[in-house]
Chain A
Amino acid sequence: MSHTTHTATEVRAERAPTASFTYAAFLLAGLAFLLVAPMFFYPIFLMKLLCFALFACAFNLLLGYTGLLSFGHATFFGGAAYFTAHAVKEWGWTPELGVLLGVAGAAALGLVMGFVAIRRQGIYFAMITLALSQMFFFFCLQAEFTRGEDGIQQVPRGHLFGFIDLNVATNMYYFVLAVFVIGLAVIWRFVNSPFGMILKSIRENEARATSLGYSVAHYKLGAFVMSAALAGLAGGVKSLVFQFATLTDVTWQMSGEVILMTLLGGIGTLIGPIFGAGLVVTLQNYLATSDFPVTIITGVVFMVCVLVFRRGIIGEFYASRLGRRLGFEHRH
Chain B
Amino acid sequence: MTMIFGIPLQAFLGQLLIGLINGSFYALLSLGLAVIFGLLRVINFAHGAQYMLGAFVALLLLQYFGISYWLALVIAPIVVGLVGAVIERTMLSRLYKLDPLYGLLFTFGLALAIEGTFRYLYGAAGQPYSVPAALAGGTNLGFMFLPIYRGWVVVISLVACIGTWLLIEKTKLGSYLRAATENPVLVQAFGVNVPMLLTLTYGLGAGLAAFAGVLAAPVYQVSPLMGTNLIIVVFAVVVVGGMGSIMGAIVTGYMLGIAEGLTKVFYPEASNIVIFVIMAIVLLIRPAGLFGRDA
Residue of A at shortest CB range from B242? Answer: A124
Residues of A in contact (CB 8 Å), total 46
Contacts A119-B287, A128-B279, A252-B232 given; does A5 touch B98 at CB 8 Å: yes
Q: Which of B98, B104, B112 touches A123 (beta carbons < 8 Å)?
A: B104
Would you call B114 an interface residue if the criterion is a C-beta within 8 Å of the partner chain's C-beta atoms?
A: yes
Q: Which of A8, A293, A303 touches B106 (beta carbons < 8 Å)?
A: A303
With a cutoff of 8 Å between Cβ atoms, the chain B residues found around residue A119 in the complex are 283-284, 287
Q: How far, in Å, is A60 (CB) from chain B's closest CB?
A: 14
B98 near A303 (CB under 8 angstroms)? no
Residue in B112, B113, B233 whose Cβ sees the most chain A Cβ within 10 Å = B112
Residue of B at shortest CB range from A310? Answer: B102
Residue of B at shortest CB range from A255? Answer: B108
- Interface 9-mer from B136-144, B158-166, B268-276: B268-276
Residue in A1, A128, A297 whose Cβ sees the most chain B Cβ within 10 Å = A128
Instruction: Mark each residue of chain A from 263 to 306: 1 if its CB lies under 8 Å from any CB of chain B, else 0.
Output: 10000000000000000000000000000111111111111011
With a cutoff of 8 Å between Cβ atoms, the chain A residues found around residue B94 in the complex are 307
A302 near B105 (CB under 8 angstroms)? yes
Would you call B110 an interface residue if the criterion is a C-beta within 8 Å of the partner chain's C-beta atoms?
A: yes
Contacts A139-B273, A256-B112, A293-B119 given; does A122 touch B102 at CB 8 Å: no
What interface size band does chain B fall in?
35 or more
A1 near B269 (CB under 8 angstroms)? no
How many residue pairs at the A-B interface have CB separations less than 8 Å? Answer: 134
Residue of A at shortest CB range from B228? Answer: A252
Q: Which of A132, A252, A294, A301 touches B109 (beta carbons < 8 Å)?
A: A301
Contacts A303-B106, A303-B109, A303-B113 given; does A131 touch B279 at CB 8 Å: yes
Would you call B95 an interface residue if the criterion is a C-beta within 8 Å of the partner chain's C-beta atoms?
A: yes
Would you call B2 an interface residue if the criterion is a C-beta within 8 Å of the partner chain's C-beta atoms?
A: no
**Interface set, chain A 101-154, CB cutoff 8 A to B:** 116-117, 119-120, 122-124, 126-128, 130-132, 134-135, 138-139, 141-142
**Interface set, chain A 168-225, CB cutoff 8 A to B:** none
B100 near A123 (CB under 8 angstroms)? yes
A135 near B276 (CB under 8 angstroms)? yes
Complex formed: what's the CA distance from A293 to B95 in Å? 27
Contacts A5-B98, A9-B98, A138-B273 given; does A299 touch B280 at CB 8 Å: no
Q: Which of A123, A130, A305 touches B101 (beta carbons < 8 Å)?
A: A123
Q: How far, in Å, is A182 (CB) from chain B's closest CB?
A: 30
Complex formed: what's the CA distance from A295 to B113 in Å? 6
Q: 13 pairs across A/B with beta carbons < 8 Å?
A: A5-B100, A6-B102, A120-B283, A126-B101, A127-B235, A130-B235, A138-B273, A142-B272, A263-B105, A295-B116, A299-B110, A307-B94, A307-B106
Residues of A within 8 A of B (CB): 1-2, 5-6, 8-9, 69, 116-117, 119-120, 122-124, 126-128, 130-132, 134-135, 138-139, 141-142, 252, 256, 259, 263, 292-303, 305-307, 310
Residues of B within 8 A of A (CB): 43, 91, 94-95, 97-102, 104-106, 108-117, 119-120, 229, 232-233, 235-236, 238-239, 269, 272-273, 276-277, 279-280, 283-284, 287
| Given pairs A130-B235, A131-B232, A131-B279, 17 additional interface contacts (CB within 8 A) | A120-B283, A127-B235, A134-B233, A138-B273, A142-B272, A252-B232, A292-B120, A294-B116, A295-B112, A295-B116, A295-B119, A296-B117, A299-B108, A299-B109, A303-B106, A305-B105, A306-B95
